[in-house]
Amino acid sequence: MRKNRQRISKQTSNRRAVSNYGADILDSASHKSCAEYIQHGDTSIRQHTISVAYTAVALARKTHLKYDYQAIVRGALLHDYFLYDWHEPHHGLHGYTHASIALHNAAENFAISPIEADVIKKHMWPLNIAPPRYREAMIVTLADKICSTKEVFGKPVRNHQVQEILDEYQ
Protein backbone atom coordinates (compact mmCIF):
# COMPACT_ATOMS: atom_id res chain seq x y z
CA MET A 1 0.00 0.00 0.00
CA ARG A 2 2.81 2.40 0.81
CA LYS A 3 4.73 1.58 -2.37
CA ASN A 4 2.93 4.48 -4.03
CA ARG A 5 4.89 6.95 -1.92
CA GLN A 6 7.22 9.19 -3.90
CA ARG A 7 8.48 12.73 -4.20
CA ILE A 8 7.10 15.17 -6.77
CA SER A 9 9.65 16.43 -9.28
CA LYS A 10 10.75 20.05 -8.96
CA GLN A 11 9.29 20.84 -12.39
CA THR A 12 5.75 19.96 -11.24
CA SER A 13 3.78 22.78 -9.60
CA ASN A 14 1.47 22.14 -6.66
CA ARG A 15 -1.40 23.22 -8.89
CA ARG A 16 -0.44 20.64 -11.55
CA ALA A 17 -0.21 17.89 -8.92
CA VAL A 18 -3.75 18.67 -7.73
CA SER A 19 -5.07 18.81 -11.30
CA ASN A 20 -3.37 15.58 -12.35
CA TYR A 21 -4.38 13.42 -9.38
CA GLY A 22 -7.83 14.93 -8.88
CA ALA A 23 -9.02 15.37 -12.46
CA ASP A 24 -11.95 12.94 -12.37
CA ILE A 25 -13.19 14.33 -9.04
CA LEU A 26 -12.75 17.97 -10.07
CA ASP A 27 -14.60 17.27 -13.32
CA SER A 28 -17.53 15.43 -11.70
CA ALA A 29 -20.98 16.99 -11.45
CA SER A 30 -21.22 15.99 -7.79
CA HIS A 31 -18.00 17.76 -6.76
CA LYS A 32 -19.02 20.78 -8.85
CA SER A 33 -22.29 20.81 -6.89
CA CYS A 34 -20.21 21.48 -3.76
CA ALA A 35 -19.79 25.02 -5.12
CA GLU A 36 -23.39 25.60 -4.00
CA TYR A 37 -22.65 24.92 -0.34
CA ILE A 38 -20.81 27.42 1.86
CA GLN A 39 -18.09 26.08 4.14
CA HIS A 40 -16.82 29.15 6.02
CA GLY A 41 -17.25 32.88 5.31
CA ASP A 42 -17.86 33.20 1.57
CA THR A 43 -15.83 30.09 0.67
CA SER A 44 -17.74 27.20 -0.88
CA ILE A 45 -17.06 23.56 -0.07
CA ARG A 46 -15.59 23.15 -3.56
CA GLN A 47 -13.17 26.05 -3.09
CA HIS A 48 -12.34 24.88 0.43
CA THR A 49 -11.45 21.35 -0.64
CA ILE A 50 -9.29 22.60 -3.53
CA SER A 51 -7.51 24.98 -1.13
CA VAL A 52 -6.93 22.09 1.29
CA ALA A 53 -5.59 19.83 -1.49
CA TYR A 54 -3.24 22.58 -2.68
CA THR A 55 -2.08 23.44 0.85
CA ALA A 56 -1.58 19.77 1.79
CA VAL A 57 0.60 19.17 -1.28
CA ALA A 58 2.62 22.32 -0.50
CA LEU A 59 3.11 21.28 3.15
CA ALA A 60 4.04 17.70 2.25
CA ARG A 61 6.68 18.85 -0.23
CA LYS A 62 8.27 21.05 2.45
CA THR A 63 8.93 18.00 4.63
CA HIS A 64 11.00 16.26 1.90
CA LEU A 65 9.46 12.91 2.88
CA LYS A 66 7.83 10.54 0.39
CA TYR A 67 4.03 10.60 0.20
CA ASP A 68 1.21 9.00 -1.69
CA TYR A 69 0.32 12.31 -3.33
CA GLN A 70 -2.63 10.78 -5.11
CA ALA A 71 -4.13 9.92 -1.72
CA ILE A 72 -3.39 13.40 -0.38
CA VAL A 73 -5.09 15.11 -3.31
CA ARG A 74 -8.08 12.79 -3.65
CA GLY A 75 -8.61 12.53 0.10
CA ALA A 76 -8.44 16.32 0.44
CA LEU A 77 -10.88 16.90 -2.42
CA LEU A 78 -13.35 14.47 -0.84
CA HIS A 79 -12.80 15.15 2.89
CA ASP A 80 -15.90 17.38 3.14
CA TYR A 81 -17.97 15.57 0.50
CA PHE A 82 -21.07 15.40 2.72
CA LEU A 83 -23.33 17.10 0.12
CA TYR A 84 -25.66 19.15 2.33
CA ASP A 85 -25.76 22.65 3.84
CA TRP A 86 -24.33 22.11 7.32
CA HIS A 87 -25.64 25.51 8.49
CA GLU A 88 -29.21 24.15 8.51
CA PRO A 89 -30.21 23.57 12.16
CA HIS A 90 -31.01 19.83 11.87
CA HIS A 91 -27.33 19.14 11.11
CA GLY A 92 -26.38 19.98 14.69
CA LEU A 93 -23.88 17.14 15.10
CA HIS A 94 -22.19 17.95 11.80
CA GLY A 95 -18.74 18.36 13.39
CA TYR A 96 -18.80 14.79 14.63
CA THR A 97 -20.67 13.05 11.83
CA HIS A 98 -19.66 14.63 8.51
CA ALA A 99 -16.36 12.78 8.06
CA SER A 100 -18.18 9.42 8.04
CA ILE A 101 -20.88 10.79 5.73
CA ALA A 102 -18.22 12.16 3.36
CA LEU A 103 -16.48 8.78 3.27
CA HIS A 104 -19.77 7.01 2.56
CA ASN A 105 -20.53 9.37 -0.34
CA ALA A 106 -16.97 9.22 -1.67
CA ALA A 107 -16.93 5.42 -1.70
CA GLU A 108 -20.24 5.40 -3.55
CA ASN A 109 -19.11 7.76 -6.31
CA PHE A 110 -15.36 7.15 -6.68
CA ALA A 111 -12.75 4.41 -6.33
CA ILE A 112 -11.23 5.16 -2.90
CA SER A 113 -7.95 3.65 -1.70
CA PRO A 114 -7.48 2.69 1.97
CA ILE A 115 -5.20 5.71 2.54
CA GLU A 116 -7.74 8.02 0.89
CA ALA A 117 -10.42 6.56 3.17
CA ASP A 118 -8.21 7.27 6.20
CA VAL A 119 -7.67 10.87 5.03
CA ILE A 120 -11.43 11.44 4.78
CA LYS A 121 -12.46 9.53 7.91
CA LYS A 122 -9.84 11.02 10.24
CA HIS A 123 -9.66 14.63 9.07
CA MET A 124 -11.62 15.91 12.08
CA TRP A 125 -9.05 14.57 14.53
CA PRO A 126 -8.77 15.39 17.41
CA LEU A 127 -12.51 16.27 17.58
CA ASN A 128 -13.17 12.76 16.30
CA ILE A 129 -10.98 10.73 18.62
CA ALA A 130 -9.47 8.16 16.23
CA PRO A 131 -6.11 9.61 15.06
CA PRO A 132 -4.87 9.50 11.44
CA ARG A 133 -3.13 6.23 10.61
CA TYR A 134 -1.07 7.52 7.68
CA ARG A 135 1.15 10.56 7.24
CA GLU A 136 -1.03 11.55 4.26
CA ALA A 137 -4.04 11.88 6.58
CA MET A 138 -2.00 13.89 9.10
CA ILE A 139 -0.93 16.37 6.41
CA VAL A 140 -4.51 16.85 5.17
CA THR A 141 -5.78 17.27 8.74
CA LEU A 142 -3.23 20.03 9.26
CA ALA A 143 -3.99 21.69 5.89
CA ASP A 144 -7.73 21.59 6.67
CA LYS A 145 -7.20 23.41 9.96
CA ILE A 146 -5.00 26.05 8.34
CA CYS A 147 -7.48 26.65 5.49
CA SER A 148 -10.53 26.61 7.77
CA THR A 149 -8.98 29.13 10.16
CA LYS A 150 -8.06 31.48 7.30
CA GLU A 151 -11.57 31.19 5.85
CA VAL A 152 -13.21 31.98 9.18
CA PHE A 153 -11.08 35.13 9.44
CA GLY A 154 -11.86 36.20 5.88
CA LYS A 155 -8.45 35.38 4.37
CA PRO A 156 -9.03 32.14 2.44
CA VAL A 157 -6.21 30.32 0.64
CA ARG A 158 -7.26 31.40 -2.84
CA ASN A 159 -3.99 32.24 -4.58
CA HIS A 160 -3.55 32.20 -8.36
CA GLN A 161 -2.79 28.46 -8.42
CA VAL A 162 -6.02 27.63 -6.59
CA GLN A 163 -7.89 30.00 -8.90
CA GLU A 164 -6.36 28.30 -11.96
CA ILE A 165 -7.68 24.94 -10.79
CA LEU A 166 -11.16 26.45 -10.31
CA ASP A 167 -10.97 27.99 -13.80
CA GLU A 168 -9.72 24.78 -15.42
CA TYR A 169 -12.60 22.71 -14.08
CA GLN A 170 -15.54 25.13 -14.32
Q: How far is the CB of 145 from Fe ion (least distance, A)?
A: 9
CB nearer Fe ion, residue 11 or residue 129:
129
CB nearer Fe ion, residue 17 or residue 34:
34
**C-alpha distances in Å from residue 146, one per residue of 56, 113, 114, 123, 159:** 10, 25, 24, 12, 14
Q: Helix, strand, or coil here: 64?
A: coil
Q: How far is the CB of 97 from Fe ion (least distance, A)?
A: 10
Q: How far is the CB of 85 from Fe ion (least distance, A)?
A: 14
Instruction: Compute the distance between CA of residue 23 and CA of residue 103 in angstroms, rounded to an integer.
Output: 19
Total residue count of the chain as it appears in this document: 170
Instruction: Compute the distance between CA of residue 74 and CA of residue 24 in angstroms, rounded to an integer.
Output: 10
Q: How far is the CB of 9 from Fe ion (least distance, A)?
A: 28
List of residues contacting Fe ion (CB under 5 A): 80, 144
